[in-house]
Chain A
Amino acid sequence: MGFENFGTVSFTAEAKVADFITYLEQGKVMATRCPKCGVSYFPPKADCPSCLSGEVEWFEVKGKGKLATYTIVNYGPSGFEDDAPYILALGEFEGGIQILARLSKDIAPNDIKAGMSLVVSSVKRPDGRIAYEFKKG
């Protein structure tokens, strides 16, 4: 399985990093790392341009991150109309990993603060589509 059911609207399915979706189905949000250079990638990459290795390894993004910035989107583009309003956020995690995702609907807009503690986890939507989102950490 590839990225065809990822997010609200997916625009392409095939990728060498499609294992990401398999892990996501198991509840894990994964990043990749090049074992030769030690560089970590999120979004995950299948290839390391620095050493030209295609032997990257998967590891789970664990632990607490913090909210770097966010926006409450009231006007959704075509395909996203029914989601609005939704909150997009950037979260910073250990090892210099930064992730763009939505904030969980459990977090009230008034409670959102820069620097607040977050965790990232997989979320299955009622229509069967899958994504990851930030919850309070």
Chain B
Amino acid sequence: MADVAIVSAGQSVFTRSCGESIRELAFEAFKEALEGLDITTGDIDASIICSAPEYDKQRSPAGLISEYLELTPKPSFYVETVCSSSSTGLRVAWSLVKSGLHKMVAVIGFQKMSELSSRDAAERMGRGADIIWESPFGLTMPAGYAMYAQAHMDKYGTTEEHLAKVRVKNSHYGATNPKATYRKELSLEDILNSEVITSPLKKFDCCANADGSSCIIVARGDVAKGITDKPIWIVGLGAATDTMTMAGRELLTGLKCAQEAARQAYKMARLKPQDIDVAEVHDCFTVSEILAYEDLGFAKPGEGVGLIEDKETYADGTIPVNVDGGLLSKGHPIGATGGSQIRTIVRQLRGEATEAQVKGAEIGLVHNIGGIGQYGNVTILRR
């Protein structure tokens, strides 16, 4: 069967408030993805629209966005795994192309979170937990990850300063990313002195709600080669789930869904963690990046903090991670985030990254998590 490649990847500027409609927001990423390519909307055989519902009022956004981007009458449908929706979209696109059903598929992620107040957005995210048994206690996404952080601290001696160092790194790179919501370098003191949101996580340990969109164009290998000199091959895909409830979690110092997704992706790609040249991981909170180091095998369980202490995840380290600023700098427009991570790795592997280019990067990894570790997605790309 044919190989499957990414021919292009685009994203909008991520911002606290975009001041436009979701269809116009989606267009921005679509425009960046298609610009410079010798294809038209008619060449796209299907579109997969990815977001988390209830942030804006539009029901069934796939039809709306398909019409606005002039992809109608081609098939279009909606895919959702909360914060990892567009990685799931990529997985579905790969299957559609690999199966022979379509030659070219667009994966479009979007979220306009600014339609809601911060507290209302937190309530929506809280309902991304079990609404009978756990949401009524006031469980939120930050609170769930905070419980993982506390467990990691209690078991391994991880400190608030270790967590803050992740933000120091990511703010350093985010400062140079023109697509990022936050483009300001933060000091260790700025982070450690920020208010506690949900212990032990402080304001600057948390990513921000944002508006944004992303678009990935996926094609059959021979078609991709006809469109671009630099196809980026999808060589590893992993996806797994963990329980919706926190009560069902067997592990509190790592995300089992990420560990399993990583195992699958490495196996499919016939690669090991040491083979990865550059990674984008789901740093919705600082602790999430530490957990990712360990869940992806970049460090042993409990030893993830060593990577940030030794600056090994900086652009010139042994395993550069989130050198575009990560979710912590870019902001986290839920449905668009996975596509933005993929776009960064595509640019890295093409040697076209403007924030910080990892020299000679050939193999890249995307780790994108939905909810409080409910949905794990790991994708490995190769130039």
Contact among B131, B138, B142, B150 for A11, CB-based, below 8 A = B131
Chain B positions 147-185 with a Cβ under 8 Å from a chain A Cβ: 147-151, 154
Query: Is the interface on chain A under 10, 10 to 19, 20 to 34, or 35 or more residues?
Result: 35 or more
A interface footprint on B170-211 (CB within 8 Å = 1, 0 otherwise) = 000000000000000000000000011111110000000000
> What CA separation (Å) do A70 and B252 show in the bound complex?
11
Contact among B117, B132, B149 for A43, CB-based, below 8 A = B132
Q: Is the CB of A98 within 8 A of B136?
A: no
Q: Does B92 contact A (CB under 8 A)?
A: no
- Which residues of the other chain, B, contact A15 by a CB distance below 8 angstroms? 132
On whether A42 and B247 interact (CB within 8 A), knowing A90-B147, A131-B137, the answer reads yes
Q: Is the CB of A75 within 8 A of B138?
A: no
- Which residues of the other chain, B, contact A75 by a CB distance below 8 angstroms? 122, 140, 142, 197-198
- Which residues of the other chain, B, contact A72 by a CB distance below 8 angstroms? 196, 198-199
> What CA separation (Å) do A7 and B133 show in the bound complex?
9
Q: Is the CB of A69 within 8 A of B252?
A: yes
Q: Is the CB of B197 within 8 A of A98?
A: no
Q: Does B120 contact A (CB under 8 A)?
A: yes
> What CA separation (Å) do A8 and B108 show in the bound complex?
37
Q: Does A78 contact B (CB under 8 A)?
A: yes
Q: Chain B CB within 10 Å — which of A84, A88, A90 has the most?
A: A88
Chain A positions 71-109 with a Cβ under 8 Å from a chain B Cβ: 71-81, 83-84, 86, 88-90, 98-102
Q: Is the CB of A78 within 8 A of B137?
A: no
Q: Is the CB of B195 within 8 A of A68?
A: no
- Which residues of the other chain, A, contact B137 by a CB distance below 8 angstroms? 7-8, 88, 100-102, 131
- Which residues of the other chain, A, contact B248 by a CB distance below 8 angstroms? 98
Q: Is the CB of B134 within 8 A of A78?
A: no
On whether A69 and B150 interact (CB within 8 A), knowing A8-B136, A11-B135, A90-B246, the answer reads yes
On whether A70 and B119 interact (CB within 8 A), knowing A7-B136, A12-B132, A100-B137, the answer reads no
- Which residues of the other chain, A, contact B131 by a CB distance below 8 angstroms? 11-12
Q: Is the CB of A73 within 8 A of B138?
A: yes
> What CA separation (Å) do A11 and B126 show in the bound complex?
11
Q: Is the CB of B143 within 8 A of A78?
A: no
Q: How many residues of B contact A (CB 8 A)?
A: 41
Q: Does A53 contact B (CB under 8 A)?
A: no
On whether A77 and B151 interact (CB within 8 A), knowing A90-B247, A99-B247, the answer reads no
> What CA separation (Å) do A8 and B149 show in the bound complex?
25
Contact among A42, A71, A81 for B199, CB-based, below 8 A = A71
- Which residues of the other chain, B, contact A39 by a CB distance below 8 angstroms? none
> What CA separation (Å) do A13 and B377 show in the bound complex?
33
Q: Does B74 contact A (CB under 8 A)?
A: no
Q: Does B342 contact A (CB under 8 A)?
A: no
Q: Does A37 contact B (CB under 8 A)?
A: no
Q: Does B106 contact A (CB under 8 A)?
A: no
- Which residues of the other chain, A, contact B126 by a CB distance below 8 angstroms? 77, 80
Q: Does A114 contact B (CB under 8 A)?
A: yes
Residues of B within 8 A of A (CB): 117, 119-120, 122-123, 125-127, 130-140, 142-143, 146-151, 154, 195-201, 245-249, 252
| Interface CB pairs A-B, < 8 A, 20 | A8-B136, A69-B147, A69-B154, A70-B150, A71-B149, A71-B150, A71-B198, A71-B201, A72-B196, A72-B198, A74-B196, A75-B197, A75-B198, A77-B138, A78-B123, A79-B123, A80-B126, A88-B138, A114-B150, A131-B137
Top 4 closest A-B pairs, CB basis?
A7-B136, A77-B122, A71-B146, A77-B123
